[in-house]
Structure 1
Amino acid sequence: MSSAPARNRSQGSPRLPREVRRRHDREILALAVPAFGALVAEPLFVMADSAIVGHLGTRQLAGLGVAASLLTTAVNVFVFLAYATTAAVARRIGAGDRQAAIRQGMDGIWLALLLSAVVVAVVVPGAGPLAELFGASGRATGYAVTYLRISALGIPAMLVVLAATGVLRGLQDTRTPLVVAVAGFAANAGLNVGLVYGAGLGIAGSAWGTVIAQWAMAAAYLTVVVRGARRHGARLRPDAAGIRACATAGVPLLVRTLSLRAILMVATAVAARLGDTEIAAHQVLLTLWSLLAFALDAIAIAGQAIIGRYLGAEDAAGARAACRRMVQWGIASGVVLGALVAVARPWFIPLFTGDPAVRAQLMTALLVVAVTQPVSGVVFILDGVLMGAGDGRYLAWAMLGTLAVFVPAALAVPAIGGGLTVLWWAMALFMVSRMAFLWARARSGHWVVTGAVRGG
């Protein structure tokens, strides 16, 4: 086992043979397609809740919107539970030690439970002030607080699902998360209808339905992981050293995630300063941008699992070859998605708004989104590759550097009299800067650290 980085530069290697490309393509598709389905299923939870609660009234829907935004933020901050666990487990799998891989995953799940206890302890008593902080009106605050306090009971389940998803991805299994996500969505929708209308519980029924569905998903994941642990003789009890190691690996990814959130918050704040038309169009743009990100992130998730496995098996050449092929996938996917956005704009914009002014803003700004999709493809793939390599420290510094580039550019938009399209050119600069940081790391070869455990 070696912890020294392999210095060969992958980008200068010869073209991959056809059979190698096909093998990588099969691996990528086998992991990315189910991962995409699971990613798309996640936001359907909120959509189902919104559709059901929306018929109760505007105040209830407004309260749900605030509470759901707060819960999503609280949970997504800990997405490193999935990312770090995927990389660590995949390395152990590559090294041929499935027992250690599952044991590593259990440490991640125990960390999720510990973190969730802290989050619940903050959210439940602080539901009122938090709802007001997130912009709930006086008439909607009561509904937001009701939904938030009940839904907080599902936070441990949500964080366990994140960690367990990372375990299964590391085990090269993205089909089980897809099945659980689809079943969870169906259960959530059915429970919400029954509790909101059948039982007459109103918005509280929606919260309880979601909590029950989330715990059912967590139970399904835990059943799969615990069975695997027993089959391979892996311990189930918490291990302080293992939990600390998981937390230590997660800190850089937490910094990365917070920096990314800060960039999106700054962009939204600047759009709000530009005017009501601009902020309305900006929200639509962010929604579409996030949808496009799901497709690219699915390949990145495959990258995390595949790269971790190759490095764990001490196959540096295989890791570099997989990286090259996934970058090609990212560019091709970005070109296709960008072309679809550019061509389909006149048809899908009316689905979001009937305001001619907002439509005009979207028609122009969406061209920027379309042009930058190939860049986004490279960014998502290399982000996934470096996560799979356990290169979290560099990812944290890279995102902080990107934040330092983006913020002055975004804040300058109102000062120079720029509009929403100019702001989205600043978003394009954000993606180009991020790509530059990630590409430099990929070219350096410093991420290629082999062995069952990444050193340094």
Structure 2
Amino acid sequence: MTGAADNAESAPAAATAPAAPAALPRRVRAAWIVTYPLIVASAASTTLAVVDTLLLGRFGTAALATIALATPVFVFGSALVVPWGTAVQVLIARLHGAEDTARIGRLLGIGLRVCLAAALLPTLTIIAAAPWILHVLAGGEVPVEASTVVRILACTLPLTAVTAHYRGVFGGLGRTRITMQVALGVNIVNIPLDVLLVYGLGLGAVGSALGTLAAVASGAGYIAWLARRELRPDYPAPPIHRSRWRRAAGGDEKAEGPASRALAGEVWKIGWPDTTFAVIVYGADVLLTAIVATIGTADLAGYRLMVTTVTVLWVVVFSCSSGISILAGQRLGADDEPGARAALRAGAVLMAGLCVLVVLLPLLVPYWYFGLFSTDRGVVDAATSAVWVLLLLVPAMVVAMSLAGLLRAGGDTKGIMYAGGLSQFVLALPVAWFAVQVLGWGIAGAYLGFATGILGRAVFTVLRWRQGRWRTALSSAAIGSK
């Protein structure tokens, strides 16, 4: 992208949040400018996981089994950390819309401390309990290097917290290309390091984990340095000698502490429901996979092929939803609710268009599409039997995730948590179990349950949106208003 996209990224950090364009095509373009870097960043992370799997698969079965066992623990730990960066993003977007540079400067430090505190418990727990956790997951014998690999990956969680915080800061300011640059930079560091450590030094899964640790550290260091260089001049924050800073800034020392605690409270208010939601979704996915695992090897492999397509869909809808939360949050911070609704509509149109592009090939030429991933006719048949579910998934995803972006912009992450929990455990899992175990519908039954859950989430999210709690979820005393 050129022109407006470049201008948006090169503009001074403290620039006023742009007003929502009047025409829908321009609003969609504005949404694209914010969203496409998030899509690229997510795709880069997915690509890295694929490359890592290929490298270890060629190194040896034991190494691949080790990383397969360690990855769920690492992903779960990350799911407890990353949502706190999203909470920072929501608040920064609101404050940016309100042109409140003082509170943004204060949040730069407060948000980082909250994110690091959130990473501390899972890091220490995983390091201390790694052998026991792996034994439970494996249900028996654990690969020799697995505990070492898990502990190395656990050490990345505080670094992930740093990255998540600053990604939230830059994202809230609308500078999402920073997120893309960091994700691509991590890949550039990680892939050559993996080759060197896994093959050059023959470290296998341990080498892969060390490469991940080094790459995440480089990404965290880069984005922290970038934030200090580009943000601190416009958003000064108190150094260690706070009273000296307050006197220099003409601030009220008595008011400073409560104001900081109020901001930390808003981060907590947004962050804990999002973290709970991440755990709910992760747990439900594990249970759904367990249901599918009972129906045979071909169906399980076909399920994996469909997972690949649905994963790409999630990359698109999560990125578009995040873009909506940024743009709508900025408008809400500027007391411009019509502008926030305009951002919602534009983001939903963009999300729908991109989702259609993702599912076009599997819907029109399913045998050819799934044949790219497997030469086994039985596996391809299994995947094709469930492809029709995409017709239900896409509209439901667009409704649920676009409105979730607006709810998140307003700070109503409790609504998102309730919708996610109810849809997964009241609808998705019971329907999937019944369709697979009782009706014998195989992978199609599993995905029918999944689609039912997303449809339910869409309904619950619409109801929550209509309640209007997103308008008042955040404290005006803590975040101010324009």
| TM-score, normalising length: structure 1 | 0.89
Note if contact 1:104-1:242 (Cα within 8 Å) is conserved in structure 2: yes
Structure 1 stretch 391-400 or stretch 322-331: which is displaced more?
A: 322-331
CA gap of 1:264–1:199, structure 2 versus 1, over 3 A, is: closer
The structural deviation recorded for 1:248 is 3.1
CA gap of 1:252–1:236, structure 2 versus 1, over 3 A, is: farther
Note if contact 1:151-1:210 (Cα within 8 Å) is conserved in structure 2: yes
Provide the residue aligned with 1:415 in structure 2: 438
Given the alignment, which residue of 335, 343, 347 partners 1:326?
347
Post-superposition CA distance 1:51-90 (Å, at most 9, x none): 2222321001110111122201210233311321111110
Provide the residue aligned with 1:273 in structure 2: 294
Q: 5+ residue gaps in structure 2?
A: 1-19, 243-259
The structural deviation recorded for 1:249 is 2.3
Q: In structure 2, how many angstroms separate the alpha carbons of the residues matched to 1:264 and 1:249?
A: 23
Q: In structure 1, how many angstroms separate the alpha carbons of the residues matched to 2:181 and 2:21?
A: 33
CA gap of 1:77–1:276, structure 2 versus 1, over 3 A, is: farther
Do residues 36 (structure 1) and 53 (structure 2) align?
no
> What amino acid is aligned across from residue 81 of structure 2 in structure 1?
F
Given the alignment, which residue of 179, 182, 200 partners 1:180?
182
Note if contact 2:80-2:122 (Cα within 8 Å) is conserved in structure 1: no
Note if contact 2:316-2:351 (Cα within 8 Å) is conserved in structure 1: no
Q: In structure 2, how many angstroms separate the alpha carbons of the residues matched to 1:402 and 1:207?
A: 35
Q: In structure 1, how many angstroms separate the alpha carbons of the residues matched to 2:22 and 2:413?
A: 32
Structure 1 stretch 327-336 or stretch 178-187: which is displaced more?
A: 327-336
Do residues 399 (structure 1) and 420 (structure 2) align?
yes
CA gap of 1:190–1:341, structure 2 versus 1, over 3 A, is: same
CA gap of 1:291–1:162, structure 2 versus 1, over 3 A, is: same
Provide the residue aligned with 1:316 in structure 2: 337
Provide the residue aligned with 1:385 in structure 2: 406
- Secondary structure in 2 aligned to 1:372? helix
Q: In structure 2, how many angstroms separate the alpha carbons of the residues matched to 1:97 and 1:341?
A: 47
Root-mean-square deviation over aligned CA pairs: 2.4
Structure 1 stretch 392-401 or stretch 347-356: which is displaced more?
A: 347-356
Provide the residue aligned with 1:194 in structure 2: 196
Do residues 93 (structure 1) and 114 (structure 2) align?
no
> What amino acid is aligned across from residue 398 of structure 1 in structure 2?
A
The structural deviation recorded for 1:241 is 5.5
- Secondary structure in 1 aligned to 2:471? coil
Matches within 5 A, 1:303-452: 303-403=324-424, 404-413=426-435, 414-449=437-472
Given the alignment, which residue of 201, 213, 216 partners 2:215?
213
The structural deviation recorded for 1:244 is 4.4
Do residues 127 (structure 1) and 144 (structure 2) align?
no
The structural deviation recorded for 1:230 is 4.6
- Secondary structure in 1 aligned to 2:232? helix
The structural deviation recorded for 1:92 is 0.4
CA gap of 1:420–1:129, structure 2 versus 1, over 3 A, is: same
Provide the residue aligned with 2:51 in structure 1: 48
- Secondary structure in 2 aligned to 1:279? helix
Given the alignment, which residue of 80, 85, 90 partners 2:83?
80
Note if contact 2:198-2:207 (Cα within 8 Å) is conserved in structure 1: yes
Q: In structure 2, how many angstroms separate the alpha carbons of the residues matched to 1:105 and 1:136?
A: 43
Post-superposition CA distance 1:186-230 (Å, at most 9, x none): 100111222223334333222211111101101111112233135
Note if contact 1:334-1:376 (Cα within 8 Å) is conserved in structure 2: no
The structural deviation recorded for 1:357 is 1.8
- Secondary structure in 1 aligned to 2:109? helix
> What amino acid is aligned across from residue 235 of structure 2 in structure 1?
H
Do residues 66 (structure 1) and 89 (structure 2) align?
no
Q: In structure 1, how many angstroms separate the alpha carbons of the residues matched to 2:136 and 2:148?
A: 16
Note if contact 1:80-1:254 (Cα within 8 Å) is conserved in structure 2: yes
CA gap of 1:232–1:82, structure 2 versus 1, over 3 A, is: closer
> What amino acid is aligned across from residue 404 of structure 2 in structure 1?
D
Note if contact 1:365-1:424 (Cα within 8 Å) is conserved in structure 2: yes
CA gap of 1:328–1:288, structure 2 versus 1, over 3 A, is: same
| Larger RCO of the pair (alpha carbons < 8 Å, separation 6+) | 1
Structure 1 stretch 198-207 or stretch 52-61: which is displaced more?
A: 198-207
> What amino acid is aligned across from residue 186 of structure 1 in structure 2?
I
The structural deviation recorded for 1:283 is 2.4
Provide the residue aligned with 1:3 in structure 2: none
Note if contact 1:92-1:452 (Cα within 8 Å) is conserved in structure 2: no
Aligned length: 438
The structural deviation recorded for 1:344 is 3.9
Note if contact 1:410-1:426 (Cα within 8 Å) is conserved in structure 2: yes
Post-superposition CA distance 1:221-264 (Å, at most 9, x none): 11122331354212366966644442232111122222222332
CA gap of 1:44–1:141, structure 2 versus 1, over 3 A, is: same
Provide the residue aligned with 1:11 in structure 2: none
Do residues 260 (structure 1) and 262 (structure 2) align?
no
**Identity within the alignment, %:** 25
Q: In structure 2, how many angstroms separate the alpha carbons of the residues matched to 1:305 and 1:197?
A: 42
Q: In structure 2, how many angstroms separate the alpha carbons of the residues matched to 1:230 and 1:153?
A: 31
Note if contact 1:113-1:156 (Cα within 8 Å) is conserved in structure 2: yes
Do residues 57 (structure 1) and 51 (structure 2) align?
no
CA gap of 1:448–1:328, structure 2 versus 1, over 3 A, is: farther
The structural deviation recorded for 1:307 is 0.9
Given the alignment, which residue of 91, 109, 112 partners 2:112?
109
Note if contact 2:126-2:154 (Cα within 8 Å) is conserved in structure 1: yes
- Secondary structure in 2 aligned to 1:333? helix
| TM-score, normalising length: structure 2 | 0.84
The structural deviation recorded for 1:318 is 0.8
Q: In structure 2, how many angstroms separate the alpha carbons of the residues matched to 1:382 and 1:241?
A: 27
Q: 5+ residue gaps in structure 1?
A: 1-16
